[in-house]
Amino acid sequence: MKELSVSNLLGIKYLTAEDLHLIFETADQFKEVINRPIKKVPSLRDITIANLFFENSTRTRLSFELAEKRLSADVINFSASSSSVTKGETLIDTVNNILAMKVDMVVMRHPNPGAGVFLSKHVKASIVNAGDGAHEHPTQALLDVFSIREKYGDIAGKKIVIVGDIMHSRVALSNIFTLKKLGAEVKVCGPNSLMPKHIESLGVKVEPNLIKALEWCDIANMLRVQNERMEHSYFPSTREYVQQYGINKTLLDSLSKSVTIMHPGPINRGVEITSDVADSEHSIILNQVENGVAIRMAVIYLLASKIKNYEN
């Protein structure tokens, strides 16, 4: 059996194109499994996984937990707000205490960029990054690109524009890495104040005009404005942002071609996209949610296979 070139999923930048194809091919098989009447497989009956979420999460946490249970793993959930972290316990101490209970894998979301990399150097367990600050969110990018692959076939040569708050988005960075490794063309679109310096060094182009960006692309991935990561205002008002960078059905219908709309969630309806766009035939947002379980099953299964091979 093929295996990943890494023992942890810390970020897309550490994966090869071969790793990406292997994850997608494995997810294809699990997508078939989760659409059966009996949705469970006994693949990871001897693996224990801890979900450590130091930031709020709904979809990602539920998606990981469901993926783990579909694979028959033993699952323990940890919430920072009700833990000893509030008493001053360090990240390494917290995780080592959990690992002392013989946990094989840790899925972690943390507000600090690089937390997963730091942890992987100090603990003996496989680490899956479920989002680290404004740095990376690898499984979200994998499910986004898997959804594009499902609709269009090959990723190479496809034109994708990522619209919105690029500066504070871990989803944008992971998507750029994934798409570029697979040969897609990528543009970013948003206010200059929300565009990171030197973004072009990642091999993407900046298009400040939303209409031009939509006329160019096959797929538009719409990002929400991450107010919780902002220390001050980056644009005059939400109303002005919507006028410049929001998509509504009238705008979509006025384009010279059909554009597929994606969104990593949570959606601020009426800001980045209106309800009639989110719920339209252009949208594959619910496909992304469904594919999230299959992708996370694939990642966990492939990393657990490396643990088993190492132990043997």
CA distance 263 to 27: 20
Give Dmax over CA atoms of the chain in angstroms.
60
- Asked if 126 contacts 119 with a C-beta cutoff of 8 angstroms, the reply is no
Bond prior to 113 in cis (omega within 30° of 0): no
Other CB atoms within 10 Å distance of the CB of residue 250? 10
Residue type, 141: A
2 a known binding residue? no
CA distance 10 to 68: 18
Instruction: Tell me the two tokens of residue 294.
Output: 């299959």
Q: Are strands 219-222 and 159-163 parallel, antiparallel or unpaired?
A: parallel
246 a known binding residue? no
Helix (H, G, I), strand (E, B) or coil at 212: helix
170 a known binding residue? yes
- Asked if 168 contacts 143 with a C-beta cutoff of 8 angstroms, the reply is no
109 a known binding residue? yes
137 a known binding residue? yes
13 a known binding residue? no
CA dihedral 247, 248, 251, 257 (to 10 degrees): 80
With residues binned 3-state (H G I as helix, E B as strand, rest as coil), the percentages for the chain, rounded to 5, are 45, 15, 40
Rg (CA), the chain: 19
282 a known binding residue? no
266 a known binding residue? yes
102 a known binding residue? no
CA dihedral 171, 288, 279, 251 (to 10 degrees): 50
140 a known binding residue? yes
Q: Extract the annotated binding site.
A: 59-60, 87, 109, 137, 140, 170, 224, 265-266
Query: Residues annotated in the binding site for L-aspartate, as ranges?
Result: 87, 170, 224
Residues in the annotated binding site for carbamoyl phosphate: 59-60, 109, 137, 140, 265-266
